[in-house]
């Protein structure tokens, strides 16, 4: 049975996925990594099953990287999926549209230095097969989406000045705090990865205001897509 590891940064990004699994158990061996990993199975469209391990990794690139490496080391997944929300930078997109991370770039790192080490690249990419499955699933769900560029960094983008800087430096369609780190660790370990982002705002809201928002609708858009992808793998 294949295993797929799923990460979200926030509780809302993983809750629906966890509730969709059969035979759920909490994995005690992940408590050492300060993670509550749930494991269960999901029935695929062809009648077979896929094992899923899912967890909330926390916000930021270090949390995302540490969580990704732990899941790879302990559960040996055949694929790694990050599901969650992001700020929109593309004027052709709107709230609750989806950006699939065809390309993932750091927005606050000098990759001329970091890129000298494995996997020796300055940007990262979601797996082509996983992108194809996600694209097909999104079309079935009638959700507007693109395969685009996602920028990741360790600060909250919430002003016009910051959004313009991110667009100028990365050409991104969406901005968030984890995707590039997940794709980076996955590439270093030769594990196929996919980053999914449902757009929750236009990267123009102060964090103290944003944190009061109910993001469940947008997080669930990405989570429903993950469930459809798992069913069609």
Known catalytic residues are: 13, 201
Residue 213 near residue 204, CB atoms below 8 Å: no
- For residues 8 and 196, give the distance between their C-alpha atoms in angstroms, rounded to a whole number: 10
Give DSSP secondary structure letters for the chain.
--EEEEEESSHHHHHHHHHT-EEEEEEGGGGGGT--EEEEEEE-TTS-EEEEEEEE--SSHHHHHHHHHHHHHHH--SEEEEEEEEEE--TT--TT-EEEEEEEEESSS-HHHHTTSTT--SSB---HHHHHHHHHHHHHTT--EEEEEEEE-SS---SHHHHHHHHHHH--SEEESSHHHHHHHHHHTT--EEEEEEEEE-S-S-HHHHTTS--HHHHHHHHHHHHHHHHH-
* 99 strand-pairing partners: 146, 197
Residue 165 Rama label (left phi>0; alpha psi -120 to 50; beta): alpha
The two tokens of residue 64 are 């995302």
């Amino acid at each position: 049975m294949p295993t797929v590891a799923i990460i979200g940064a926030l509780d809302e990004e993983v809750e629906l996925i966890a509730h969709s699994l059969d035979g759920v158990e909490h994995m005690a061996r992940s408590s050492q990594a300060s993670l509550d990993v749930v494991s269960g199975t999901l029935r695929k469209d062809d009648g077979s099953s896929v094992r899923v391990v899912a967890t909330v990794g926390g916000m930021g690139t270090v949390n995302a990287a540490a969580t990704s490496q732990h899941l790879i080391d302990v559960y040996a997944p055949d694929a790694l999926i990050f599901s969650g929300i992001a700020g929109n930078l593309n004027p052709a997109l709107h709230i609750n549209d989806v950006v699939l991370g065809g390309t993932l770039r750091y927005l606050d790192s000098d990759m001329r230095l970091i890129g000298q080490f494995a996997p020796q690249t300055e940007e990262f990419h979601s797996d082509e097969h996983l992108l194809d499955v996600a694209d097909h699933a999104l079309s079935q769900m009638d959700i507007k989406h693109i395969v685009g560029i996602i920028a990741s960094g360790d600060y909250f983008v919430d002003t016009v000045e910051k959004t313009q800087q991110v667009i100028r430096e990365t050409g991104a369609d969406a901005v968030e705090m984890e995707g590039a780190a997940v794709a980076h660790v996955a590439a270093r370990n030769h594990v196929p990865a996919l980053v999914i982002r449902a757009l929750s705002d236009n990267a123009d809201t102060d964090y103290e205001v944003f944190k009061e928002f109910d993001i469940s609708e947008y997080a669930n858009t990405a989570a429903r897509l993950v469930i459809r992808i798992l069913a069609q793998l």
